[in-house]
């Protein structure tokens, strides 16, 4: 019964977020995120129908739809990457290469693992497959956060909510799936519990932070000459050179 | 077991990052503010903290030897305490100056579409090394007094010089004549500036 209550709460909140997105005209601002949410709501409704009407098909239906849910989750990562770094072309370029680097490293690792094991398959179980795909999302999100921290990029309430909500969900999910894969079916009840509650927590975060459109703060962009990047860069270069000569003289003295 | 630990670690690392992210204040730093801060930092480093001779004077052992040779013990202790305070203050100010310079660089570089990844990485490592060296110097001064770590002081100054060199290289793609062109352009279009 509690499972069903959690399910209803989750679907209601997803519906509220989608309703608010159209009512507040936010949907067009974050299309990938709302596409993800719409797909997840559709999957939840389908799952609810199968769970209550065809319980015998539930397990198979769950894992096949879960794969879709994981894949569409990459849309949220793309949305976060796009929204968080958009006005900062340098940071965006840095983030893009970092994310590509993470993908390349992960796929190189997978290739290495497959070469080392003669009987290796892409994933021994669906749990491991989901764990691996979520882990890639975790690494990519951490790369984006690293760029945000490093360049001190100010993030608005909406994108902050997306990052916190989705990060909370995939972070707990990776750990949960790793334990499920390691411990086995004995861990199943705990896995169910953590999975459901972490997702509810994420949806609550999204409901609060995406209630109205609150975009990222607009950075103070340079004016025509005074703050033109190249001018400033040249000035920095001059300052750096002057500082260097002072330091070198100090070091020599 | 290693696989389990790996996945638990990356999950925990993300949750910790989210915790830090949630606590972070969303502050928009203006380029003008960053420029002013960078200028102040550079001015402080050049004029007040790193002029040739000042560092030598702060860390000069001869001063202590002179005081030790001609004053009672209490005066020597007082001299050491005061000199330690001066040295610690100097190290703190140098670190703050380097931090402000770093903030200026990051504040500007994030807007630049043709930013060089290799140089950015190199700069990040150099900034981190320099800030760490400043911390080590502060720690050494705190533990051993003003004359405990002359080598660390010299190395920190050397590292700062190398950092400036890298910083300069990151902007080397610009032709110096470009500044003249821009200056002339701004003179022709004063309303635009």
Which alpha helices (DSSP H) does chain A contain, by range? Answer: 2-23, 31-53, 58-85, 89-116, 126-150, 157-183, 188-209, 229-252
CA distance B40 to A244: 16
Residue A42 has pLDDT above 90, yes or no: yes
Which has the higher per-residue pLDDT, A155 or B191? Answer: A155
- Cβ atoms within 10 A of the Cβ of A40, count? 21
Containing structural domain, residue A236: 2-211+227-252
Q: How close B157 gets to chain A, by Cα (Å)?
A: 6
Confidence grade of residue A170 (pLDDT, cut at 50, 70, 90): very high
The shortest CB-CB distance from B117 to any of A94, A152, A230 is to: A94
Chain B 124-143, CB below 8 Å of chain A: which residues? 124
What is the interface size between A and B, counted as CB pairs within 8 Å?
224
Residue of B96, B94, B107 whose CA lies nearest to B35: B107
Which range, of A1-5, A217-221, B34-38, B114-118, averages the lowest pLDDT? B34-38
Q: What is the pLDDT of residue B190?
A: 37
Q: What is the pLDDT of residue B142?
A: 82
Which has the higher per-residue pLDDT, B115 or A153? Answer: A153
The shortest CB-CB distance from B161 to any of A225, A230, A247 is to: A247
Does residue B148 belong to the interface with chain A, where contact is any CB pair within 8 Å?
no
Q: What is the pLDDT of residue A229?
A: 53
Average of per-residue pLDDT across A36-51: 92
Which range, of A32-41, A142-151, A198-207, B48-57, averages the lowest pLDDT? B48-57
CA distance B167 to B169: 5
Which range, of A88-97, A217-226, B78-87, averages the lowest pLDDT? A217-226
Does residue B102 belong to the interface with chain A, where contact is any CB pair within 8 Å?
no
Chain B 36-55, CB below 8 Å of chain A: which residues? 38-39, 42, 45-46, 50-55
> Is B21 in contact with A141 (Cβ distance < 8 A)?
no
The shortest CB-CB distance from B164 to any of A153, A156, A243 is to: A243
**Maximum CA extent, chain B:** 69
Q: Give CA A249 to chain center in angstroms.
A: 49
Mean pLDDT of all residues in chain A? 82
Residue B78 has pLDDT above 60, yes or no: yes
Q: What is the pLDDT of residue A250?
A: 55
Q: Give CA A68 to chain center in angstroms.
A: 16
To 5 degrees, how large is the angle CA B58–CA B60–CA B66? 120
To 5 degrees, how large is the angle CA A68–CA A99–CA A166? 45
Q: How close B88 gets to chain A, by Cα (Å)?
A: 18
DSSP B143-174: HH-TTS-HHHHHHHHHHHHHHHHHHHHHTTTS
Average of per-residue pLDDT across B172-180: 42
ipTM attached to this prediction = 0.81
Q: How close A127 gets to chain B, by Cα (Å)?
A: 13
Chain A interface test: which of B93, B131, B155, B171 (most A C-beta within 10 Å): B171
Domain residue ranges of chain B, discontinuous segments joined by +: 30-171
Give chain B positions within 8 Å (CB) of A177: 7
Contact A10, A41 (CB under 8 A): no
Q: What is the pLDDT of residue B183?
A: 43
> Is A168 in contact with B24 (Cβ distance < 8 A)?
no
Which range, of A88-97, A220-229, B161-170, averages the lowest pLDDT? A220-229
Q: What is the pLDDT of residue B127?
A: 77
Contact B186, A224 (CB under 8 A): yes
How many independent structural domains does chain A possess? Answer: 1
> Is B160 in contact with A228 (Cβ distance < 8 A)?
no
Contact A79, A206 (CB under 8 A): no
> Is A163 in contact with B154 (Cβ distance < 8 A)?
no
Highest mean pLDDT, choosing among A148-152, B104-108, B130-134 = A148-152
Confidence grade of residue B49 (pLDDT, cut at 50, 70, 90): low
Residue B176 has pLDDT above 60, yes or no: no
Residue B159 has pLDDT above 80, yes or no: no
Which has the higher per-residue pLDDT, A124 or A145? Answer: A145
DSSP A214-240: --PPPP----SSTT-HHHHHHHHHHHH
Chain B 59-88, CB below 8 Å of chain A: which residues? none
Chain A interface test: which of B110, B151, B185 (most A C-beta within 10 Å): B110
The shortest CB-CB distance from A239 to any of B30, B38, B185 is to: B38
Which has the higher per-residue pLDDT, B179 or B55? Answer: B55
Q: Please write down the HEC assignment for all residues of A77-92.
A: HHHHHHHHHCCCHHHH
Q: What is the pLDDT of residue A117?
A: 65
Q: What is the pLDDT of residue B170?
A: 46
A156 φψ region: left (φ > 0), alpha (ψ -120 to 50), beta (else): beta
Residue B181 has pLDDT above 60, yes or no: no
Measured between CA atoms, the residue of chain B closest to residue A147 is B110
Contact B82, B132 (CB under 8 A): no
pLDDT digits (tens, 9 = 90+) for A73-121: 989 998 998 888 887 877 888 888 888 888 888 778 777 776 776 565 5
């Amino acid at each position: 019964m509690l499972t069903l209550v959690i399910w209803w709460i989750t679907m209601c909140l997803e519906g509220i977020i989608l309703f608010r997105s159209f009512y507040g005209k936010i949907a067009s601002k974050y299309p990938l995120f709302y596409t993800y949410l719409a797909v997840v709501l559709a999957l939840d409704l389908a799952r609810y129908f199968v769970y209550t009407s065809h319980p015998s098909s539930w397990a198979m239906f769950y894992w096949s739809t879960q794969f879709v849910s994981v894949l569409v989750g990459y849309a949220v990562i793309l949305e976060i990457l796009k929204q968080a770094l958009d006005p900062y072309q340098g940071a965006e370029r840095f983030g893009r290469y970092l994310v590509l680097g993470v993908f390349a490293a992960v796929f190189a690792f997978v290739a290495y693992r497959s070469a080392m094991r003669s009987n290796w398959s892409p994933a021994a179980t669906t749990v491991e497959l989901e764990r691996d795909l979520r882990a890639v999302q975790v690494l990519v999100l951490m790369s984006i956060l690293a760029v945000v921290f490093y360049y001190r990029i100010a993030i608005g309430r909406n994108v902050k909510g997306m990052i916190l909500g989705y990060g909370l969900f995939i972070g707990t999910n990776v750990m949960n799936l790793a334990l499920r894969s390691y411990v086995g079916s004995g861990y199943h009840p705990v896995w169910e519990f953590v999975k459901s509650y972490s997702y509810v927590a994420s949806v609550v975060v999204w409901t609060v932070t995406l209630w109205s459109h609150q975009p990222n703060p607009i950075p103070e962009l340079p004016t025509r000459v005074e703050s033109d990047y190249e001018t400033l860069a040249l000035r920095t270069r001059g300052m750096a050179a002057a500082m260097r000569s002072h330091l070198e003289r100090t070091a020599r003295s | 077991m290693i696989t389990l630990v790996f996945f638990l670690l990356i999950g925990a690392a993300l949750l910790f990052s989210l915790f830090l992210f949630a606590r972070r204040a969303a502050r928009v730093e203006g380029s003008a503010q960053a420029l002013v801060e960078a200028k102040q930092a550079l001015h402080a480093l050049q004029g007040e903290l790193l002029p040739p001779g000042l560092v030598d004077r702060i860390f000069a052992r001869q001063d202590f030897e002179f005081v030790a040779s001609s004053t009672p013990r209490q005066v020597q202790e007082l001299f050491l305490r005061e000199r330690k305070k001066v040295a610690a203050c100097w190290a703190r100010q140098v670190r703050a100056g380097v931090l402000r310079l770093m903030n200026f660089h990051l504040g500007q570089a994030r807007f630049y579409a043709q930013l060089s990844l290799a140089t950015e990485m190199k700069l990040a490592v150099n900034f981190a090394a320099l800030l760490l060296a400043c911390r080590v110097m502060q720690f050494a001064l705190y533990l051993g007094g003003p004359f405990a770590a002359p080598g660390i002081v010299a190395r920190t100054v050397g590292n700062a010089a190398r950092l400036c060199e890298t910083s300069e290289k990151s902007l080397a793609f610009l032709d110096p004549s470009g500044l003249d062109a821009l200056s002339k352009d701004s003179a022709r279009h004063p309303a635009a500036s």
